[in-house]
């Protein structure tokens, strides 16, 4: 590990070089901002020890430039002009730590060791993510909770199949990321990945975009046009919000899934389709089927394999990991150093219900990054997150069945408790404040208990009830 000491006092440079040399580190030295920046450009270092009072430039300005040009380089500020204001300013600019002069040698070595350890972890994490991205295609999806592990396992198992896949989840849960992971892991990875925003176009234009048309087939068709199914040949086509596809287009989509061919608008000969279909929805398609808004035969063709994505409120243990990944992404996009997140801000993020899921979290963090100065604190968070409170349920315009709503909420509570308890029913009962027998009956009523396990669970629940 190499450390650059940027200080205009020769004695300080000599002391630090001696202390750090004995601790096993290599050191380089510079006395001016210009010399230090030039040396960093020519000879990259692993850490910078920076004096705030330099003869040719303010140390805080140097710190800002360093974090812009080398955002991963940890900087420890050392200065005789110690004050709360300068400490805060240095931390806002992205300094790892702040040490006032005179300093204790062991304190410097300890802080340097911490900074270099953090840098090592950052580098290793980046390398690991790159390797994972190359090997399993799942690097863009962040999560370690049991529910997300099940999602990862489903993606791995389903990727090599040609079967259609239906990804189910609320808005902002990452359905398109799942579709892209399925594509990257499939034998079609070298082929195109085409996204269809189903609700963005009227029925006639949607058909033309999907299946193409021949010249003269309608007013304005002055030339032949390839449809998205032709563009996606040999690859994957992803239907975002499949529930918005009009009924007349659903019939033609069903033909593609059944016959592996389609008819361009105005054509007389069908075109073969070597395309894998992945669809996503945030709607209850079974309800759409019962209401006549979605074809039942198409529904069963689509859900050969389903990938349910949990909302963020049901996997809050993933929030710290998501915060780390999303702040790093936002920092890179905005040319800023990766910010630190205060405990108060993290608590507020954990307490919020996240109705917009990961997309909402991403937007909140980017806003805080832009408005903050290297640190995300509670003050940078919007009011809705700072004062998190349970959401008040709202009625849709057509009303809702009270009994159905209560049953739906009860089912979601049971599912969340089972997920939090890792499938252990006794623990889930404790989380809900229920007796094991009561929980068992509720699981049966909602169809959440596997059929082949009911008899054994009945016996266990009965014994628990007697105890």
- What residue numbers bound the domain in which 43 lies? 2-127
Domain finish residue from 308, 325, 348 = 308
Instruction: Identify whether residues 288 and 300 lie together within a single domain.
Output: yes
> What is the mean pLDDT of the segment spanning 170-195?
92
- The model's confidence at residue 388, banded by pLDDT at 50, 70 and 90, is low
Looking at the fold, whether 371 and 419 belong to one and the same domain comes out as: no
Report pLDDT for 397: 42
pLDDT score, position 420: 67
Mean pLDDT of the chain: 82
266 within some domain: yes
Return phi, psi of residue 267, to 5°: -85, 160
- Domain count for the chain, please give it: 4
Same domain, 156 and 298: yes
- For the chain, give the percent of residues with pLDDT over 90: 33
At residue 82, does pLDDT exceed 70? no
Look-up: residue for tokens 């790093």? 328
Residues 295 and 319 in one domain: no
pLDDT above 50 for 90: yes
Structural domain contains residue 185: yes
Residue-wise pLDDT tens digits, 407-420 = 767 777 787 777 66
Q: Residue 243 and residue 123: Cα distance in Å, rounded?
A: 43
Residue 126, pLDDT > 70, answer no
How sure is the predictor about 440, in pLDDT bands with cuts at 50, 70 and 90?
Answer: confident
Same domain, 107 and 22: yes
Predicted structure pTM score: 0.56
Judge whether residue 128 has pLDDT over 80.
Answer: no
Mean pLDDT of 99-121: 87
State phi, psi for 292 to the nearest 5 degrees: 80, 15
């Amino acid at each position: 590990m190499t450390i650059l000491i940027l200080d205009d006092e020769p004695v300080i440079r000599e002391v630090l070089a001696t202390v750090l040399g004995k601790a096993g580190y290599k050191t380089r030295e510079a006395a001016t901002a210009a010399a230090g920046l030039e040396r960093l450009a020519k000879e990259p270092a692993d850490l910078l020890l920076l004096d705030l009072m330099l003869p040719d430039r303010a140390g805080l300005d140097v710190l800002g430039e360093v974090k812009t040009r080398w955002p991963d380089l940890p900087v420890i500020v050392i200065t005789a002009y110690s004050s709360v204001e300068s400490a805060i300013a240095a931390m806002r600019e992205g300094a790892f730590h702040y040490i006032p002069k005179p300093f204790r040698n062991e304190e410097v070595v300890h802080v340097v060791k911490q900074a270099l350890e953090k840098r090592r972890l950052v580098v290793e994490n980046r390398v690991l993510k790159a390797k994972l991205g190359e090997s399993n295609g799942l690097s863009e999806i962040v999560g370690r909770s049991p529910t997300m592990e099940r999602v990862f396992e489903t993606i791995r198992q389903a990727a090599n199949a040609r079967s259609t896949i239906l990804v189910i989840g609320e808005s902002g849960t990452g359905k398109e990321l799942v579709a892209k992971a399925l594509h990257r892991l499939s034998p079609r990875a070298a082929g195109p990945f085409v996204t269809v925003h189903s609700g963005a176009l009227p029925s006639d234009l949607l058909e033309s975009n999907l299946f193409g048309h021949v010249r003269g087939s309608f007013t304005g068709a002055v030339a032949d046009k390839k449809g998205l199914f032709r563009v996606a040949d040999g690859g994957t086509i992803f239907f975002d919000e499949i529930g918005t596809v009009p009924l007349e287009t659903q019939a033609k989509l069903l033909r593609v899934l059944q016959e592996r061919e389609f008819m361009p608008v105005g054509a007389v000969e069908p075109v073969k389709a070597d395309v894998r279909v992945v669809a996503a929805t945030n709607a209850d398609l079974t309800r759409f089927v019962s209401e006549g808004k979605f074809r039942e035969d198409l529904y069963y063709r689509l859900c050969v394999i389903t990938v349910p994505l949990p909302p963020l409120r049901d996997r809050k243990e993933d929030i710290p990991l998501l915060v780390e990944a999303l702040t790093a992404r936002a920092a890179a996009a905005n040319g800023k150093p990766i910010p630190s997140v205060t405990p108060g801000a993290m608590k507020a993020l954990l307490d919020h219900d996240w109705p917009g899921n990961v997309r909402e979290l991403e937007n909140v963090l980017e806003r805080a990054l832009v408005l903050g100065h290297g640190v995300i604190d509670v003050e940078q968070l919007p009011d809705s997150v700072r004062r998190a409170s349970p959401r008040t349920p709202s009625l849709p315009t057509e009303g809702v069945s009270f009994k159905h709503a209560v049953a739906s909420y009860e089912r979601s509570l049971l599912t969340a408790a089972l997920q939090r308890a890792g499938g252990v029913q006794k623990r889930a009962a404790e989380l809900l404040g229920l007796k094991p027998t009561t929980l068992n009956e509720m699981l049966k009523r909602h169809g959440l208990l596997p059929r082949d396990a009911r008899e054994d669970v009945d016996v266990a629940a009965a014994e628990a009830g007697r105890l």
